[in-house]
Each structure stands twice: as structure tokens, then as C-alpha cells.
Structure 1
């Protein structure tokens, strides 16, 4: 479980460009965002804010997270990268979450939500990953998924099949994500795909702050 006390990057660990349009004090908004991304439900988050004299509804905190537009920082230069995908339930549809993790630091490098999984989508994910980070010399740790191996080969990236070992780092991320989505009955209900992907990017940002 993610520990709230470890989300301690301070109030300056992210900026809120939209704060001038909000009636809530910026420190309270940042606290609400940090509490929710660290593992508290929206209900528990607004309960804590209420004790501090800031009365807001769940939708308001959700909107703060969306407007903050948080995502993992770029510029990493990892030696090994674990790549995998997992199913995310969005209303009554299945989507695929792609994730890349630096196995030395356990930091999330990139996440992407897609309505399907195939070589073309995987190549797009890898292109975005290469734009954000210095991964051309990294060794990619993958499972036996043929579309993933084919996409890495197409990009000219070095990869190695690894069922367990260092590749478990991405599985730990997925387990925490599943724990979080269990709070929503393991499903993002009444949400658009871009809203869910925005939340997943924010989750990745918070994960990197906590490890």
C-alpha cells in the first residue's frame, strides 16, 4: 500500500497553473491532490479537508487532479526497462494499460491507455517512451507477448525475455493500481477514456514521488 506520509516532495513538487481560477487556497488543493493520489478515496480526502476547515465535494477534488495535469517527468536514462500491459475496465469496456518501469529505481517512465493491444499500438507507446527518455541503449525486459517483441525489434531496441526477476517491478505497479481501482469496484464508471488516462498519468506521478 502506498504510504501517504511518504508523498513528501513538499508543496513545490508540482505546480497548479489553474489555481487563479479556484476559490480554494492553493495549499489545500495541493494537499487534497496529494492525499487522493497517495491512496485515499475521494470521500476520505474531503473528510480530511473538512477537518481543516475546507468544505469541498468529491467532484471538486477529482477536478483538481484532472486540471493539475500531472505526469511522470522525462529525461531518465535507465539501464533496464520492464514493459507490460494489463486490462483496465472502463464502464462496460476493456482497455489496455501499457506501462514502462525503470527496474533499478522502480519509477514509472510512461503509461498509455488503449482500447486494444497490437503491434501498432505498442510501437506508438515505444515511440512516446523514446521521446520522453533516453532508452535506446537500455535492455527491455518483456514477457512472451509477440506484439511487444515485434514492436521492440521494429524500433531496433534490445530486449530479453524474463518471466520473473527484475520484470516484477512493473507487476508491483499493476498490483498497486488494481488495489486503487478496487476502490471503484475495479472499474472506472461514468468516465471518458481521456479522463481515465489523465488520472493514470497522475497516479504514475504520485508513484514516482512515493518510492
Structure 2
């Protein structure tokens, strides 16, 4: 998908309730948040507000994204939900990213970052996914992961093994996440896991806005 398409999104969806005495106009703050989550580095996003005569540090953009606490909203109830787990790097350590996506729209429904992977974590991921979305009637598309299959069984969810097909949606999401975390590693440099997880929720919000 062209990079410009990632700029599509409704700035009105970005809430700035955390702002008290911020000198930067709110529209510029929303624009910088949207641009950064769409793919621009923090250096490039601060250069955007400089065009409007406002000078801000790169760390300021990071703080805006973090404090905005963006996350994907509950949407329609899809017939199928693709779930998967993959490894990403954080401070030279490996973390496991769990994610669920609507294969028809490519919309991210939920993400969770964990230091390891096992059946208990997979069950917790599904419990939180079910709490956020009413997906109990959906067919969950899983690959060969035994922990994801076991979690579906324990939650009484209908699931189907699928290595390609509709599951390609979540693979595309994972590729984009890995591209972003590799290209803009400064987002994760010396970051704690909860900070990275907050960034990933913000990324999910921006990803869904551009669909």
C-alpha cells in the first residue's frame, strides 16, 4: 500500500485530554502524532511543525504519542478473526507480540506484548480480546501454534487451522510492525516494555484509521 495512504485518517479521533498548557496548537499536535504513526521518523515530524514556526524536541513527539493513549476501538463483529504471535526486538531482547485482526478489513482488533510465550499467556490474550470485543461467534484462524489452539479450546471458541488465505491479513500487519520497529528503532531505544506496548496500541489505532 502506498505510504501516502497511511496519512489517511481522522484527526478528530485523536483525543488530547492530557493537554493542559501545551503551547503547540492542538491541530499541529494531532498532525504530528498522525504523521509519526503513519511512518515518519520523529526528526521528520518535528520538522513539520517547524514549517509553522513551532520548534519542538523529538522527545516531545514521543511524549505526545505516549500520553494520547490511542488504541483501536471496538468495531463490527467479523465472521472470522485471524490470530497470531510473532517475535519483535526490544532493547536487544526478544518479546512476543500477540495480535488479532479482521481478515476482511485488515483491521487490528487487539495486541499484547509479552516477554515469552506459553499457553497461559495465550489464554490471557484471548480473555482480554473477548472482554474488548464480542467475537465469540467468530471463527478464529490460527496457524500451527499449539498454545493458540489450546487457548481457543479452553475458551470454547470455534477455530480453524489456516496457514495462508485469510490469515495473510495479520501477516501483512506483522510485516509492517517489524518494518516500523526496525526503521524507527529510536521509538524503542531504552524503552520499557509497557512503553513499547503503548506505542503498539497507538500504531494499531493509526493502522485502522488508514483502512
TM normalised by structure 2 equals 0.95
CA-atom RMSD in angstroms: 1.6
Tell me if structure 1 keeps the 8 A contact 2:9–2:209: yes
CA distance in 2, matches of 1:198, 1:98: 14
Matching of residues 112-151 of structure 1 within 5 Å:
112-151=112-151
Q: Which runs of 4+ in 1 moved over 6 A?
A: none
After superposition, the Cα gap between the structure-2 partners of 1:87 and 1:107, relative to the gap in structure 1 and judged at 3 Å, is same
**What is the CA deviation profile of residues 114-167 of structure 1, one whole-angstrom value per residue up to 9, with x for unaligned ones?**
011111001111011101111100000100111110010000001000010000
Q: Which residue of 2 aligns with 1:168?
A: 168
Q: Which residue of 1 aligns with 2:58?
A: 58
SS of residue in 2 equivalent to 1:19: coil
**What is the CA deviation profile of residues 159-210 of structure 1, one whole-angstrom value per residue up to 9, with x for unaligned ones?**
0000100001000001111111121359822000000000000000000001
Q: Which residue of 1 aligns with 2:86?
A: 86
TM normalised by structure 1 equals 0.95
**Any stretches of 5+ residues in structure 2 without a counterpart?**
none
Q: Which residue of 1 aligns with 2:180?
A: 180
- Which stretch of the first structure deviates more once superposed, 87-96 or 2-11? 2-11
After superposition, the Cα gap between the structure-2 partners of 1:175 and 1:2, relative to the gap in structure 1 and judged at 3 Å, is farther
SS of residue in 1 equivalent to 2:180: helix
Shift of 1:5: 5.1
Tell me if structure 2 keeps the 8 A contact 1:119–1:147: yes
CA distance in 2, matches of 1:179, 1:154: 34
Total equivalences in the alignment: 211
Shift of 1:8: 3.6
CA distance in 2, matches of 1:37, 1:187: 11
**Any stretches of 5+ residues in structure 1 without a counterpart?**
none
Matching of residues 1-211 of structure 1 within 5 Å:
3-4=3-4, 6-185=6-185, 188-211=188-211
CA distance in 2, matches of 1:205, 1:64: 14
CA distance in 2, matches of 1:61, 1:40: 11
